[in-house]
Every structure is written in C-alpha cells, then in structure tokens.
Structure 1
C-alpha cells in the first residue's frame, strides 16, 4: 500500500512510480473494455492539469465533475486536485434543480461534462449560475447557443510547472449530501481525511495488486469514491467500470471481479432471482431451501467454534449444497473474495442467504461527513444486522437518544459556507453527531435508523421504519417501500410493486381482479408482508398498505441520488391515499 503521501496527487504519483505498467483501469468503449496502465493515466492527468493552468484556474477554485463513471472522471479528479483545485462531483441522474444548486452553492467556476446533450438537459436551471464561467465538453462538440460551453482541447505534450499540493489538511473535494429533507449541504473533505479513511479500510480488509474491482456505483458518492477508487489506487488494484445495471450480469462474467461494492438492493434482487428460479420446480425449490438452511448452520460454526456441523449437514453439503452455492457465486463472476454492502441496511433474510451460499458479503457503516467509512467487519468475523466495529484509529460511542457519535481523522472540515450547521454536526470535543440511533455491544455497532425518521405513534410508541422497509423489500413482489405513521395509531406503507410478479400473485388471490388497491387484495398483501416481520415488534408492524405501480425516481423528487426514499415527500405525494387507509 502507498503509505507515505500526504495528499491524493502525491499518492497517485507514488503509485505511477511503483507500478507504471500495471493495469489501472478498464473502461468500456465501442470495441469493448480497454485497459489503461498507470503511465497512460499519468500522461492524461498531466495534459488535463496543463489545460486547467492555461484556463487561468487558481488553487482553491471549484471544478464541477458532471461525467459518467470512467477514466475521464478519474483523470479530471486527479488533475484538478494536482493543480490545487477543489472538485465538486455531480450525480448524473440527479434532478436539474439539485445539480444546479450544487454548482451555485459551491461557486463552481468550471464544469466538465461529456456531451452537450447532458448539459442541455439541465434546461433553464443553468441560467442562475453566476460563478460558472466555462463548461468543457470532452466529446469535442460545439457548445451551440450557450456561450459558456465549448469543446475541450488539450496539448498532446504538456507538463505543469506547478508543484503538487503537499498539505494534507488542504481541502480536496466538496461532496454534497443527499438532502432527504432539505437542500443538499456541501461536505468539505481534506486530502488527509480521505487518505486516512482509505488506509484504515485497507487495514481491516487487505487489498492486493491482483485484485479487480467492478465499479457500478456513482463516483459522486463518497462510498465509491473512497472504497472503490482511492483504496484500489493505494493498493495498485485494477478497477473495471461497469457499463450499466442492465448489462451487469455480462460485465460480471467478462471482468470476473474479486471485489464488488454495491447497495443492498442489488443483493436483494439477486436473492429473489435465485430463489424464484429454483422454485420453478419442486425439487429445485426443496434443494435451494435445504442448501440455505445447511449453509447458514455451517456459517454459524465459523463464528462460534463451540458449534459443530452434524454428519447429515456435512453429507448434504458435499453431495449437493456446495454445488448449489457455487452456482450462486458464479453469477457474480465466480472469483469474488470480498463483497461490501453499504449505503443502506441489508435485510436479515438476504444476509443469511448470502452467508449460507458462502458469498463473502460484509457490511460497514459510514456517512459523507465521516469521509465516509466509520466501521467495518471482515469476512472471517461478521455479525447478523451489525455494521462491524470502529475502523482502526476511529472511536464510536452513543450520546443522548442513543445517537451514534464518531471521532476519527477522517471527519469533514465542516459544511461549505455553513458554519452554524458545521458547529451542530461536530461538537467541541470533536465528536461527529451522525443523526443515526445505534446500539454498541462489545464494540459491535448496530444501526437502529435515522433519529429524525423515527415515527412516534399516537399510542406513544417509537417506531424505526428502516428494518420494516427492509423486511417489506425482501419480498420479490415489492420494488420500493416507505413506512409511515407519525402521529397515527399504527404504521402503514406505500409500496411500489413489480407489476409482472404482482399480477400473477393477484390472479391467484382474487381471479379477474384489475384494481391493485382492491381492499381484499391489499389485506392479502398486508398479511403476506407480515410474514416477513417476525423480528419486528407487534406494535410496529404495518396494518395497511397502499400499492403503486410507477417506480419512484430522482426526477419525481421522491428519491435522493443514493436512491433513498424522501419520507416527507412520499407522505405529501400520497396524503389522500394514506388518509383513506386510516379513515
């Protein structure tokens, strides 16, 4: 691991010197995936850095990155930071209002994007960006009617005479939070904070030069930026940039990654698909269930040496179970040695399934303000419904209302242009107030949910909606879910269904039914979902459900860029339907 550098550009230069001809990135083009070694990337970074200098950008100026995942994103990030600039990543699928808010709030003077169409899709929102002077199109297109937009050009051979930044406390990037209840806030992260975070993660789970990451999450998110980009760079691993979720299965087969970072929904869908395929026959369904039961018992013996697998389990596993589990792992490329789930809680059902199939899935916890990782676990030492222990060098404890507090070298410098919010987030003793309720037992951290999301029923009971939503979404009929009930006598849920699966199920319940919100059908659905809630206290279980067929999107305003439901927005959008449930 590159361990001496104080800034990210210095770490990059050390990596180039250490393994110049090793494959750094694989990017998908018209002819398939193409390899780029560290020397290739260094030349591109030097040319782009020179272009920034020629444009008159000064250290501290903000540069917005409005690009899809790939080497152009990485080159822009590295070149800007090497020039002492501050990068501001933008989510490609975010709403125009949010994207322009980020550029306006950060005072970005330059934005890089790939093609004019992406910029034009922002519409009139771009008219209110007083600090933005230039937009560079990497495709080489003409900017058409917008005078700020021009084709990006660079010299074939260019070197910047400016020295690399050497102060680890210098601001490296401003990453804007999702903003579930208000406008996004800019989290300021230093070079030192990001490097500490990536190195600490590497201490918990070692990363090697022959590892291959498959990158499928947006680089604008701190999770992918730190664990999926900076960690591989420090350790000399290769990163292959996936083309899209639609062809993920093909990319897994062709790239055969050893490390994969993803959000829980990906694993939940893989779980549903595997079970559904097995249940197409009676024998297949039986073997899958038996493999899961046996595999889970085997997994528990790895955590508790006092337990021992029985003879029948060993016989079944050697004869059938190992083959069933291998097919599940083959769907992920067949070479995975570490899978990290983050961004949201993983359902207990999916954790058990993946552990039973010997998929090396681990969970961690973090938030952008922590740089982002704060806790982690290992494949050899993990717990159901726990996000692991504090990273080496970090501290965790709980405060009032069981709020999780974090203190580490990876914490943010504060919120950009918002000192009052910064003071509320990090107290005088250096503890970051996460806003998440947690339990800590023997160092193991269990997240109970966002404090602000806790529903207070009219009965006085407090309900954490997060595990309920995870349980609901573990059902293959459900694509998205939002649990509500603040001030009400019981909880309800708005769910978005998988229409094809739901239609088949509904026909079996009430032949000929056309209304998915038929009272009897909704009652049957509620009863089905209640079967997933054995671990939920009775007072917190849903008592009614409203069905939607149109998926929630960023454009609809119901999701954050990290695909979390905006609870207040959902409650407002479906207030009439919810009122009818309670009436």
Structure 2
C-alpha cells in the first residue's frame, strides 16, 4: 500500500488559541482539579482550574508590565516543571511565542537559538542557566529581560506582583487577538544532522494534534466512572512530545503532574505517589521498568517464574491481537488460566510500580520492540506506539485502541494522510504539519511541498494502513560490496539484551557491518552480583570474557533477523556510555552518528584492522 488516510474525528478550530481552554474550563467547572503540584515537602497538592486560570492571568499581567507584547518571543530554559506550563499558557494568552531551550544546552547552542529566534526575554530555572545565558548575552542585543524561577521569591511571584496594577482587560484584548494561524512556538530540532532548525508551530497545529488524539484515543484521555483521568509528565517540555502532552491534558481536562527527572530512581516513587491513569513516554522508560522488575525477581530467586510470566503475557497479548484482526479465536482456556495465575504474582506488581491505576500508555520518540509492547499489554497496560517529528507537532501515526498491531507505529492520526514515496520515504499531510523553518526558506522548501512533509524516514504501509519505520534516508549504510543496510533496526535488536545500553552500527564504505556497544552499568552490577563477583571498573569490564560472551549473545540474536550481508560481524564494548555532555547524544537521547564516529575513530578502525 502506498497511501492511507484516516478521516478527522473533530472539526479544525476556526477561532481562538491555546490559552482559551484555560479560561473556558475555569468558567465551566472552576473546582475541577487541573494539576497535581509537588511541594518542597514531597507532597502532591491539587490546583483547580480556577486557581490555574488566576495564576495564568496574574503572570500574563506581569509579563505585560515587563514589556512582553503580542508576537514577542520568550525563551524558556528549564527542566519539566509546573512553572513551565504556567509560563506557556501566560505567554499564549498574550499571543507571545515561547521558545523552549533544553536545560543541558551548551552556551553556543543557546546563543544560536536565542539569536536565530530573536528572543526579547528569557526564563531560566536556576543560576547555572543564568550563567550560561550571561556568557553569551553580549552577542544578543535584543535580549532585554532575564527571569529566574529559583531566585529569591521566584520569577512567577515577582512578575505577578509587578503586574498587580495592570487591568485584566488589557490581557483579554491580547487573548482575543490570537487566531489559530498565530504562531504558538518555535521548537528547535535536536540537531542530529547539523545546526538546529527552528520549527514554526501554530496554535492550529497544536489544537489539531491534541483534539484528534484525545478524540480518537478516548479510552486513554477519559476517566473511568468515579475517577479522573490523570497523567504524570516527565518528558522534557523542551521537546515537542512533552509540549503536546501538556496541551492535550489542558484541553481535555486531564489532571496533569510534572516530574523533572526521567531516571527510574526518581521517577518510580513519583509514579507510585501520583498514580496516573496513563502516561506518554519513550521506550526507554518501559525498558527500565521491565528490567528493574526482572532484576528484582532474580534477586529474590524467582527469575524462572518471572520469565514464564513474560512468555505467558506475550502469548496472551498476541492471541488477543490475532482475535482483533480476525486471524485467531483469542486466548485458549489453558492460556487464560496461566495468565490469571500470574496476575497477582507478577502483572499486578508491574502495574503497582507504575502507580497501580495505569491501564494505557503512549510511546514515541524511538522504536519499541514488538515483544516489549506485547509483554506490557499482557500485563494489563496497553502501550500505543506512535510516530512523529517536531515538524508534525508530535504524533502523525499511532496504534488505534481497538486494533493495536505491536511492532508498528500504527495508522495515521485522524485527519492525516501517510504516503510512501517511490524511494520509500514517508510523507505526511495533515493539520499538524508545521508551517516551515524560521529564517530558513531553503530548508523549508526541501521538506515541504504543497502541504506535504517529506520526513526523511523510510517506511512501509501494510494492507490495513499500519506504518512500519525501517530507517532514516541519511543513515543508510552502504558497504564497499554495495549492500545497503538500515542501522536502526539492527541497533534496536542488539539493545534488547538487558546488559546493553546503546549500540551504533558502522560500516559505510567498509567490507562488512560492525558495531560499538555500551553497557547498562546498573544491569551489569546486578549481573556480577548474581554471579558472586566483585564490581569491576569500566576498563576491566570491557576486557571481561564473560561479559563479551553475553554481549555476543545479543549480537547473534540480532543477526538472526537479517541477511548475512547485513549482519554484525564484530563489535567493540566501550568503557563509557554515549552522553549528551560529550556531544554524542541529542537532548532527546538520539545518537549523533557522525560525532560518535569521530570520537571513536580509533575504535572503529580497529574493528576493520
């Protein structure tokens, strides 16, 4: 199949902007809990829709008092937290344009984004961020204001006090001037292939995206009787996925909480306390939850029963999948009995680790292994995998609730068309497609053609319109023997091994495919402890024969799924993971391939020595 369209489930908005939902909800249901906000004492407190409206209004008045006007761009450099959402909606109320900046960005990256977007003010989280801005401020003549969230009384309180004398009608006049075509934000790409480009996203883009998602995935975004739908946002708000979650939650009336750290040690306690009914995450989070549960079972001497429970969950979910597509009768009586046996001992504990209320999740950002999706579905949490880009305001496809096809990224979001070009490139058309790159007509014309977005990704559509992503056009490796290899699928399969953290496949213009592999330190420490061995230093680990044997198993397992010419012939274990700090990962954890190959040129050469 070359093209597939899903009709819209809601009309595109004709008037207004993103902030209108804040005021409408406060008017219609002022006491509804809109947010859960974690205090300094670690306790979660409710924020009603009326309280949030009042905070947005007070902050918007303060921004006006400080000179922010319709169309101005204001950068936000922070981790995910409640105040970011507050600033977003206050700025949208005024028709201003937030420009998100990753908190880990270097001074030169910050300079480029602030300079390119011509921001007039900036919000930072703490002093380190302020110092980063300060180091380049002499080259940013348009930047007039800098506010710090964690300084003194805090930027929110200071701005709210500054705007106390501003008449509310001034704010409302700004809000009424916002139309769907107004620019909502400029989000910079992660820069895997060069200097970041500013994606111009309108209010209409975000409203279309959120309304189509919440309309089609109603079981996810709506509450059960007697319960309010809620989600904990731990994705970076500097990334389009996190911003879409924020917007969709506010528009759909979902209780929203914020968590600034995605590491399992920090995230899992807040999931248990907040108890979300669903989450939107990247596969990394689900991998961490699964591996943590597996290690716990192994420490307690229950590895074999856990592994059996995994097999049962996968088989159970696969049987339900076949039934949904009319290719099977569903789980057999014996399988249902086995599944029920493991419900309390394994599956219920996995759900409890995620708060206990969760029954759905959405995953994007990178590929999720089919087996992992089947396991979580069998354990009672259906993970709807999707696909999108910054240029498509997040999701362009996702698996539908009633017919999830694991291992694919689903069908087009309602109102969206997916087309596969002659060379296999995925093209998108829909109301969420961005309007272009800021100050870069050449790059814009390279990806936008009559409303169609050329994604740069390669993929295929099956007979039911489900999309499978097979790689990136620019990342295809061609060996010296002329064999074309898409590295991402191989890398994903190697990473399925519990001891492996990252994998990058190399081999362009080389005689065969090889790989650089990094290890999951926590998993390896557990593995050593289960063998009764003492911890090893990174330098000792990369030379450890037992570890090499384990990693080889992961590579061999990946090779069974490809032809001999595409298989990984040899690999090198690295002492340290690829990190954003060293310029080898983007802030959204994507590999910077060229940078990695430059940094490890000697190791790559040794693979072919």
TM-score computed with the length of structure 1 as normaliser: 0.92
Separation in structure 2 between the aligned mates of residue 504 and residue 259 of structure 1, nearest angstrom: 30
Q: Is the 8 A contact 2:419 2:426 kept in 1?
A: yes
SS of the counterpart of 2:135? helix
Cα distance change, pair 390–463 in 1 and its aligned pair in 2 (3 A): same
Q: What's the offset of the Cα at 1:236?
A: 0.8
Deviations 1:33-79 (A, max 9, x none): 22211111111211221122222333211111123322211121111
Mark the runs of 5 or more structure 1 residues left unpaired by the alignment. 144-149
Q: What's the offset of the Cα at 1:85?
A: 1.1
Separation in structure 2 between the aligned mates of residue 424 and residue 405 of structure 1, nearest angstrom: 12
Q: 1:34 aligns with which of 41, 45, 49?
A: 45
Q: CA RMSD in A?
A: 2.6
Cα distance change, pair 303–217 in 1 and its aligned pair in 2 (3 A): same
Separation in structure 1 between the aligned mates of residue 21 and residue 401 of structure 2, nearest angstrom: 28
Q: What's the offset of the Cα at 1:141?
A: 4.2
Q: What's the offset of the Cα at 1:109?
A: 0.7
Cα distance change, pair 141–133 in 1 and its aligned pair in 2 (3 A): same
Separation in structure 1 between the aligned mates of residue 502 and residue 99 of structure 2, nearest angstrom: 30
Q: Is the 8 A contact 2:408 2:467 kept in 1?
A: yes
Separation in structure 2 between the aligned mates of residue 344 and residue 41 of structure 1, nearest angstrom: 33
TM-score computed with the length of structure 2 as normaliser: 0.88
Cα distance change, pair 340–13 in 1 and its aligned pair in 2 (3 A): same
Give yes or no for the alignment of 1:389 onto 2:411. yes
Give yes or no for the alignment of 1:18 onto 2:18. no
Separation in structure 1 between the aligned mates of residue 11 and residue 377 of structure 2, nearest angstrom: 32
Give yes or no for the alignment of 1:232 onto 2:249. yes
Q: Is the 8 A contact 1:376 1:390 kept in 2?
A: yes
Q: What's the offset of the Cα at 1:547?
A: 1.9
Q: Is the 8 A contact 2:397 2:411 kept in 1?
A: yes
Q: Is the 8 A contact 1:298 1:356 kept in 2?
A: yes
Separation in structure 1 between the aligned mates of residue 547 and residue 39 of structure 2, nearest angstrom: 47
Q: Is the 8 A contact 1:526 1:544 kept in 2?
A: no
SS of the counterpart of 1:417? coil
* Equivalence for 1:279: 298
* Equivalence for 1:169: 181
Separation in structure 2 between the aligned mates of residue 15 and residue 481 of structure 1, nearest angstrom: 46
SS of the counterpart of 2:123? strand
* Equivalence for 1:147: none
Q: Is the 8 A contact 1:349 1:474 kept in 2?
A: no
Give yes or no for the alignment of 1:436 onto 2:462. no
Task: Report 1:167-246 matches (<5 A).
Answer: 167-206=179-218, 207-208=221-222, 210-226=228-244, 228-244=245-261, 245=263, 246=265
SS of the counterpart of 1:364? strand
Report how many aligned residue pairs link the two structures. Answer: 574
Separation in structure 2 between the aligned mates of residue 220 and residue 500 of structure 1, nearest angstrom: 28
Separation in structure 2 between the aligned mates of residue 276 and residue 520 of structure 1, nearest angstrom: 22
Separation in structure 2 between the aligned mates of residue 310 and residue 208 of structure 1, nearest angstrom: 31
Give yes or no for the alignment of 1:543 onto 2:569. yes
Q: 2:19 aligns with which of 9, 26, 47?
A: 9
Q: 2:318 aligns with which of 300, 321, 325?
A: 300
549-558 vs 209-218, greater mean Cα deviation: 549-558
Deviations 1:147-195 (A, max 9, x none): xxx9755244642513413421111110111110201100001111110
* Equivalence for 2:5: none
Q: Is the 8 A contact 1:374 1:390 kept in 2?
A: yes
Give yes or no for the alignment of 1:581 onto 2:607. yes
Deviations 1:288-347 (A, max 9, x none): 222222222221222223334333323322333554211111111111121111111112
Q: What's the offset of the Cα at 1:121?
A: 4.1
Mark the runs of 5 or more structure 2 residues left unpaired by the alignment. 1-9
SS of the counterpart of 1:554? coil
Separation in structure 1 between the aligned mates of residue 239 and residue 286 of structure 2, nearest angstrom: 19
308-317 vs 71-80, greater mean Cα deviation: 308-317
Cα distance change, pair 430–291 in 1 and its aligned pair in 2 (3 A): same
Deviations 1:216-245 (A, max 9, x none): 11111111111x211111111100112533
Cα distance change, pair 278–538 in 1 and its aligned pair in 2 (3 A): farther
Task: Report 1:426-575 matches (<5 A).
Answer: 426-427=448-449, 429-441=450-462, 442-499=464-521, 501-502=523-524, 515-518=540-543, 524-533=549-558, 534-575=560-601
Separation in structure 1 between the aligned mates of residue 572 and residue 564 of structure 2, nearest angstrom: 20
* Equivalence for 1:146: none
Q: What's the offset of the Cα at 1:94?
A: 2.4
Greater relative CO, 1 or 2 (CA 8 Å, sep 6+): 2
Separation in structure 1 between the aligned mates of residue 77 and residue 198 of structure 2, nearest angstrom: 16
164-173 vs 125-134, greater mean Cα deviation: 125-134
Cα distance change, pair 88–504 in 1 and its aligned pair in 2 (3 A): closer
Q: Is the 8 A contact 1:217 1:224 kept in 2?
A: yes
